[in-house]
């Protein structure tokens, strides 16, 4: 678990941008964490300590901010990194999974050979934030459809009032560092 001092350092480094990308949304801006070397190191050290003894084969990150934390952690743990991208961005053959948005739907994709043919590859999924949980739910399903096994989904921030974790809990373990009320 994150100690209160480290939680404060990480929380203080994340900026709230009101009414972005649309009125009524408070956007959690992690760029101010990334450009703060000490806060970024505090976060990555915590993640490294949590996951260094997990039996993991790959880390998968969700487009786009999940790539930043996921690939940094993959290097620290000497694991391969797999991007889960929005529809139409990956160049090779893909497996896809759609999910509902407030209006309409969206789709995420993974390369068919993302786990290098390793059956039941143990995968940690990571993203910066869980809101409704729709994106992460689709990402977990995608990992499982690609013959991987999502052993945990990790988020730096969770919007408690949207209850997104409940959507993922039937599918995999969930670890959210900081809940936002």
Residues serving a catalytic function are 65, 102
Which is closer to ligand AMP, CB of 5 or CB of 102? Answer: 102
**25 forms part of the interface with ligand AMP (CB under 6 A):** yes
Answer yes or no whether residue 129 interacts with ligand AMP by CB under 6 A: yes
User: By C-beta, is 57 or 159 nearer to ligand AMP?
Assistant: 159
Among 131, 150, 151, 174, binds ligand AMP (CB under 6 A): 131
* 150 three-state secondary structure: strand
Query: Shortest approach of ligand AMP to residue 124 CB, angstroms?
Result: 16
Q: Is 28 helix (H, G, I), strand (E, B) or coil?
A: strand
Residue 109 binds ligand AMP, judged by CB under 6 A: no
CA–CA separation, 103 vs 88, rounded Å? 20
**How far, in Å, CA of 47 to CA of 177, rounded?**
9
Neighbours of 124 (CB within 10 A): 28
Contact between 135 and ligand AMP by CB under 6 A: the answer reads: yes
Residue whose structure tokens are 């790959």: 58
Residue 6 near residue 46, CB atoms below 8 Å: yes
Determine if 132 is a binding residue for ligand AMP (CB under 6 A). Answer: yes
Cβ nearer to ligand AMP, comparing 57 with 97: 97
Beta pairing, strands 26-29 & 15-18: antiparallel
Contacts with ligand AMP, residue ranges (CB under 6 A): 25-28, 62, 65, 127-136, 164
């Amino acid at each position: 678990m994150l100690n209160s001092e480290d939680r404060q350092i990480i929380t203080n480094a994340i900026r709230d941008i009101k009414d972005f990308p649309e009125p009524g949304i408070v956007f959690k801006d992690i760029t101010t964490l990334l450009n703060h070397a000490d806060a970024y190191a505090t976060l990555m050290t915590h993640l490294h300590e949590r996951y260094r003894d997990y039996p993991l084969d790959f880390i998968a990150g969700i487009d786009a901010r999940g790539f930043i934390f996921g690939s940094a952690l993959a290097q620290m743990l000497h694991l391969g990194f797999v991007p889960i991208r929005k529809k139409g961005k990956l160049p090779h053959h893909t497996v896809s999974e759609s999910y509902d948005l407030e209006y309409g739907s969206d789709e995420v994709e993974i390369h068919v050979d993302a786990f290098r043919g390793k059956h039941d590859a143990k995968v940690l999924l990571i993203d910066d934030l869980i809101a409704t949980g729709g994106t992460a739910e689709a990402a977990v399903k995608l990992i499982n459809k690609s013959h991987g096994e999502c052993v945990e989904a990790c988020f730096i921030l969770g919007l408690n009032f949207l209850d997104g974790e409940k959507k993922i809990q039937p599918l995999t373990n969930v670890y959210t560092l900081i809940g936002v009320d």
